[in-house]
Amino acid sequence: MSQQYRSRPLGSDVALSEAYDTALLDLDGVVYAGGHAIVHAVESLGSAREGGMHLAYVTNNALRTPDAVAEHLTELGVPADATDVITSAQAVARLMADQLPSGARVLVVGGEGLRVALRERGLVPVESADDDPVAVVQGFGGPDLPWGRFAEAAYAISRGAVWFASNTDLTIPGARGIAPGNGAAVEVVRIVTGAEPQVAGKPLPPMHRETVLRTGAKRPLVVGDRLDTDIEGAFNGGVDSLLVLTGVTDAAQLIAAEPRYRPTYVDRDLRGLLTGQPEVSEDGDGFRCGGWTAGVRGEALVLDGGGDTIDGLRALCAAAWTHAGEGACGLDAQKAVARLDL
């Protein structure tokens, strides 16, 4: 960005799949939810790939291996190889290998994805604090992770083991709604031990480094549904981003976002990769996008006009972000957002 903060979503005269060489796609809430493909995802990704865009799948979920993720994507109709998948398990394993000697024992609180990533880096997964681990690594272990695993982590950390976490996402989207993520599990161990883990996943630099190293992207576009991981990760990495509204972020949260959470582009779903993005322009004291005009009246955001409701949201973002500057927008957006019925 040429300015200190983004004051409006950007436009693009060409399809995003042509403007960027690689899409760094989040999975949960973007490509699928609860194991099922999100509407329009399969056909949109197929068209982007056929047009020459490289697709890489970047997930904070450390539960499954890249092979398992690629197999699942292929079953959904999105052909993928294991090399197309980058996980927070891989990022945290590299972070640990940079600090620990080869062959070091690591207590794993999580799933097979973590164990495979550790072995690839020459580290040895163990199951008990009594196995003399020099480190603990914690990642999402699925809904059936035994409570006793947190006790093993606490025992090892209290004995001096270095603590690492794949990511700290508090929630994860599923077919039935929003469920606790690895960040909620990390909080359990933090409360018990008083320790702080080293974290690798989005939005932190180790994950961005892992992604660039594995994809070779020259002009990447981060595509995600979360402001506090996907979009902030793009901000930290200095790359552009597309927020899709198929996951955990809603219109009100987007409008209120402070600068590090503001995406470059906003769209409903992955069809946004295949199109240009409309310009958001100044219109008197407000901002116009498509048939909508948004502005500030007193202590509230106001929205007038009609047409594509995503254009209305883009206009509201411009009005809110400009008013907030380098902070978060505290204006009342309830009535304006209600008009969009998103």
Provide the residue type at 137 as one letter. V
Here the contacts of 189-192 (C-beta below 8 Å, separation 24 or greater) are 189/109, 189/138, 189/150, 189/153, 189/154, 189/157, 189/163, 192/150, 192/154
C-beta separation of 240 from 277 below 8 A: no
Provide the residue type at 256 as one letter. A
- Give me the catalytic one of 28, 225, 230, 240: 28
- Give me the catalytic one of 13, 21, 26, 84: 26
Nearest to 252 by CA among 201, 288, 303: 303
Catalytic status, residue 26: yes
Distance CA 92, CA 137 (A): 8
DSSP 138-165: E----TT--THHHHHHHHHHHTT-EEEE
Catalytic status, residue 132: no
Give, in order, the Cα–Cα distances in Å from 115 to each of 30, 139, 141, 147, 250: 26, 10, 11, 19, 35
CA 196 to chain centre: 22
C-beta separation of 138 from 163 below 8 A: yes
Instruction: Enter the tokens of residue 8.
Output: 């409006």
Residue 304 exposed, middle or buried by CB count within 10 Å (0-12, 13-18, 19+)? middle
**Active-site annotation, residues:** 26, 28
